[in-house]
Structure 1
């Protein structure tokens, strides 16, 4: 999608952050982040929800990058003490400062031109023993299981105040999930891209959670 569409997405994306399955996905990721990592990168930070959650891990330094200026603006408001950089993850990543103990890549690689290429570049930015933590929508993913789980846990009334932005997000997500340029991977495909067998589902079973550790 164009940067303009991502900018529109940024203005209503955080309605998803209130959904139970989304919050569980964030918790799943944070459970894998060690306490007090020296440097952490949120690669494709979006509106900064993972960056915000990182504060519970007391990182020495956190860096958040995204291509969308509006995404970065929203993330900066949530995370004023975090360094934010505009960077294209389809590029050479020369903007990234140094190496990192942990790199988070939350629901990003599916939208990249060449996920395997970007993953290899991110791996090169890990310190020895560093972690690359990835979530990405799986092949066949849909939004209805996510909404259904939230409604089961919180009730349909919990959605009435956010129904309009949720509809906008739903329309964009539907476009994302059917875009031929995007990469919705099977487990085997993700294993090949990341070079790890540490893969399970999250987000109501609609996304993969994968862990790569540098040797």
Structure 2
């Protein structure tokens, strides 16, 4: 059931990529990626928007992992030359070999069964000196502020061509954000989990951005 929800979400998800706050969030994540970062993992890559952005940093290799085959197929179309792997962040990631210099995890932790376990697993897959970059929705996150900031930047008419897929995204997001099984971490919880004080708000203040550097 969980995988089917993400498969459906894949068909309308990319409308979010055109919203100003989403683009700004992606840019902030990419700004935290070192130049020529070596081997990169996009953990929970979705339809590949973050994967596509990080490729401009000229990594040695990019691996994109997701549970949904539909999400992965959409990412493949955007990201030729990237290794795509079906993997469950609730599992042990045995599908992925080796260590990574950078791991990106964009708005995924809230939907895993145990965020602390998943973060520990991702940290364990960092190469020495590697970096984990995470965004995750805050408690009470919603789309109103995101749409408000987009309209402020691009104007109300910019929503007209995408109103139907936005409505579909809104329905799915309402289900996701209200699900009892989902996790909306506080700043302090995220700080302890990642062992970092490098945490700030992003995505129209609807999500946290956190950066962890391995020893």
TM-score range, shorter chain: over 0.9
| Cα deviations by residue, 1:18-76 (Å, 9 ceiling, x for unpaired) | 00000000000010000111100000000000000012100010000000000000000
- TM-score using structure 2 length: 0.99
Cα RMSD between the aligned structures? 0.7
CA distance in 1 between partners of 2:11 and 2:111 (Å): 19
CA distance in 1 between partners of 2:158 and 2:44 (Å): 29
CA distance in 1 between partners of 2:197 and 2:183 (Å): 19
Question: Is structure 2 residue 4 aligned with structure 1 residue 19?
Answer: no
CA distance in 1 between partners of 2:140 and 2:200 (Å): 15
- Classify the secondary structure of the residue corresponding to 1:116: helix
| Cα deviations by residue, 1:162-195 (Å, 9 ceiling, x for unpaired) | 1000000011111111111000111011112211
CA distance in 1 between partners of 2:171 and 2:55 (Å): 32
| Cα deviations by residue, 1:74-95 (Å, 9 ceiling, x for unpaired) | 0000001100000010001111
| Cα deviations by residue, 1:103-140 (Å, 9 ceiling, x for unpaired) | 00000011000011011111111011100000000111
Match of 2:91?
Answer: 91
1:150: how far off?
0.2
1:8: how far off?
0.6
Gaps (5+ residues) in structure 1? none
CA distance in 1 between partners of 2:158 and 2:175 (Å): 25
CA distance in 1 between partners of 2:55 and 2:4 (Å): 30
- Classify the secondary structure of the residue corresponding to 1:57: coil
Equivalent runs, 1:76-155 vs 2, <5 Å: 76-155=76-155
Aligned length: 215
CA distance in 2 between partners of 1:160 and 1:186 (Å): 35
Match of 1:187?
Answer: 187
Match of 1:56?
Answer: 56
Gaps (5+ residues) in structure 2? none
CA distance in 2 between partners of 1:4 and 1:76 (Å): 19
- TM-score using structure 1 length: 0.99
CA distance in 2 between partners of 1:60 and 1:106 (Å): 20
CA distance in 1 between partners of 2:65 and 2:55 (Å): 16
CA distance in 2 between partners of 1:178 and 1:194 (Å): 25
CA distance in 1 between partners of 2:194 and 2:140 (Å): 20
